[in-house]
Every structure is written in C-alpha cells, then in structure tokens.
Amino acid sequence: MNGPGSMQAGSPLSDSSLSRSKMRGLHGREWDFWVIRLALFGASVALCFALRPFNLHGLTAAGLGFFIAMVILLAELRLRHAEISGLVGGAIGLVLGLLASLLITLVVSRTSEPEPAKSFFEFASLLSLSYLGLVIGIRRGRDMRHIPSPGQVNVAEPVVAPSLMKLVDTSVLIDGRIVDICETHFLDGSLGLPRFVLHELQMVADSSDSLKRQRGRRGLEVLQRMQKMPGLEIRVLDDDVTGHAGVDQKLVELARRTGSKIVTNDYNLNKVARVQNIPVLNINELANALKPAVLPGESMRVLILREGKESTQGVAYLDDGTMVVVDGARRLINRTVDILVTSVHQTPAGKMIFGRLDERADSGSVRAAASATGTRAESPIGGNGNGHTLRQPRPEPSAAIDPPTVNPYPDSDAV
C-alpha cells in the first residue's frame, strides 16, 4: 500500500520477506514429518511381515503392521493439539496407574486362585488403572500451568495471561479516542490485533472513497502511536477463524476461544458479543458514563447556539457534547444564560438535558449589560416604553418538557 497510511518495510505489522521465509520453513518441516511417517509405515509392515505375530502369514501379517501404524498416526494427530501440561500430567498418571497395577499383580500371583482368575484380575487391573491414571493425569495436568516455577518467582516483567488480552476492533482505531485512554493508563497491558482486523483497516485506507481512505489512514496512525507507548504491548495475532466470512463473526469467535475481551465502538458487535457472554469494552459507553451527573433543580450556565423545534426553545451544548434544550431561550441565541435543570433523559445517543431560564439571574445579566452600554434596561419580560419594568405575571414553565415533542437531532451534525 502506497501513501502516508502504508507501513514501512521491516515493521512488525508488514514484513513480507519474513512471512515468506516462515512459510518456507513450515513447508520444509511438514515434508520432514511425512517422510518420518512413511518410514514408520514401512517399518511396521516389514516387521510384522517378517516376525509373523499370532501365526499370521503374508498379507495378513502386513495388514496387521499397517493397522498398527495407522493407530500410531491417529494418536500422533490427536496429541499434536494437546497442551504440554496435559501431556505431562497424562504421562505421570499413566506411570502411576501401571505401578498400582503391578502391585495388584504381585498380590494376586501369591493367592491360590486358579490361573484364569489370576489372569483376569491382572489384565483388568492393568487396563482399568492405566486408563484412570491417563485420563485423570490429563485433566489435572492442565492445572499445572497456573503453578509458578522456581525460575519465575523473581521475573522482572510480569507474564500477561491470555485471558487478560483485549482484542481491538477496527472501529476503535478509526475513532481514535483509545489513544487518550491508553495514555492515561486506564487501558494497558496487552492488546491483541488480529490479522483480519488489520487487513480490514488496510482495505479502508486503500478505498477509492476519499472519506473512507482518510478514516483508514487515521486508524493506521492511531495504531502507530499506540505501538510507541511504553507499557502497552500490541500483539499481531495470526490466528484465523475458518467458517466465518465477516470480520465481526471472526472477532467474536476468536474472543470466545481465547477468553479475551473485545474493545469496540460497534453497536451491533457489542450486542452480539454480550448475547454470547463475551466481555466487551465499549468506548461510547465509557464516554457516556463519564459525563457529569446533572439533577433537576441544579443551575448551570450555557451558550444558546440555535433554535429548537418548538417556538420558544433554544438549544445549547455542554463541553462533552450533551444537548441542552432550554425553554424560553429562542430569543437569546448567541448569548450565555443561566438556566435551571428541569429533567434529564437518557437516549440511545446519550443524555439530553431539559431546562428553563433562571429568571433572577437572567434579569440581572440584562440590567448589567444595559448599564454597561448606557442604554435603557428592558426586562426580558417586557416594558412600558418609559423605562419602567412591567411586572406582569408570567406563567411558570412546566417542570418537565415532554421529550417526544423535542427533536434532538434536527440535522445530521447536531451532536
């Protein structure tokens, strides 16, 4: 990929020469294994054909050797996916089972039971205790990985458990707020970046649409900034999930397999992951949770920016983007006024605050502005034309404005 969003050659994210050499090494090792397997088949068939076990001759003895080699090959294919702790535990359990069977055999051999009964007890103890030792050893051996070895007691750098890894989605890289969260050390440790997520980000950066291309390049820049942060580790995961076409499905399946969390801003991905009991860190939910709590009756000072949907409403915004709908502030656009909060409503896009003008503070501000300019002060309620304020009764606004009557998003750039 060419352009500012492209990775430099030799970076850990795009090293094509290293990948090709790695693939060649893998293919070479696979050929070596297949040669060893063919040698195993030939040796097993030749051995059974020459020794003729169980009085078998010719092709029957060769078939027995082929069957034994197949059993060994199937066991090898099954054990290659097993964990080291499980293999060690299974081996220890098998040895303990054989030793227990040997003790039982020694005891049974000294009894006066007939030989068939002795043989039955010996073989039954051998099979049962060996099986129990192997199965219990494999199951309990998996707990050995949680026991620290003596060499790991004084390790300077802590080992990050795979369950603490957090998988990063494309949406949080394009959003960019994850950088600020990581800089404050609220999100540290190990962040996993699957290869298919990086590929999707690269496709967005290479898009023919200028807006998508700009967003993709911003995501790549955010990723490079995160790589340079001390105490934050970005791991590029080569694990691919077969059987799933979409990136979201692959991310959910990978998180389910590895027990990781997902960091995303995608609403649909958040819901799908939570249905499958996968922990999700949603930056939008974090931002909404950090917004200041406002209670009805509190006062605040806001700048009225535009008109509301109703004829008397004005709209203002807090520093965090929260919309404030003020009743009676339509005529006070581009002015800073004091308001009293009447109600707070939670919407899917965030909080909305409804309020009304604080009459005492608003009257004082108008008189102060009039005295500063040398003009006659007119009350926001009204005047009689000779400088005297008309104290006409004013109907009190309702304590709460019905949210459905207010359009919080009159245009696409409202929030």
Rounded to 5 degrees, what are φ and ψ at 31? -65, -35
Q: CB of 358 within 8 A of CB of 341?
A: no
- pLDDT over 70 at 388, yes or no: no
Task: Please write the tens of the pLDDT for every residue from 147-167.
Answer: 554 444 444 444 444 447 899
- Structure confidence at residue 365 (pLDDT): 53
Distance CA 140, CA 153 (A): 23
What are the b/e assignments for 57-89, b being 16+ CB within 10 Å?
Answer: eeeebbebbeebbeeeeeeeeeeeeeeebbebb
Distance CA 349, CA 97 (A): 63
Asked, colleague to colleague, whether 162-289 and 299-405 share their fold, the answer is no
Residue with tokens 């050995």: 144
Q: Tokens at residue 154, please?
A: 């004084």
Candidates 304, 303, 322; CA nearest to 313 is 304
**Residues β-bridged to residue 11:** 14
Cβ within 8 Å of residue 265, ≥6 positions away: 169, 171, 172, 175, 282, 283, 284
Superfamily of domain 162-289: 5'-nuclease (3.40.50.1010)
- For the ranges 28-32, 117-121, 213-217, 277-281, the lowest mean pLDDT is seen at 28-32
User: Any idea of the CA torsion for 219, 223, 224, 226, to the nearest 10 degrees?
Assistant: 140
Domain ranges of the chain: 23-146, 162-289, 299-405
Task: Please write the tens of the pLDDT for every residue from 265-279.
Answer: 888 898 999 999 998
Beta strands at 336-347 and 350-357: parallel, antiparallel or unpaired: antiparallel
Q: CB of 398 within 8 A of CB of 310?
A: no
Residue with tokens 């969260």: 181
Query: Does CATH place domain 299-405 in 2.40.50.140?
Result: yes
- pLDDT over 70 at 255, yes or no: yes
More confident residue, 202 or 85: 202
**Residues β-bridged to residue 412:** none
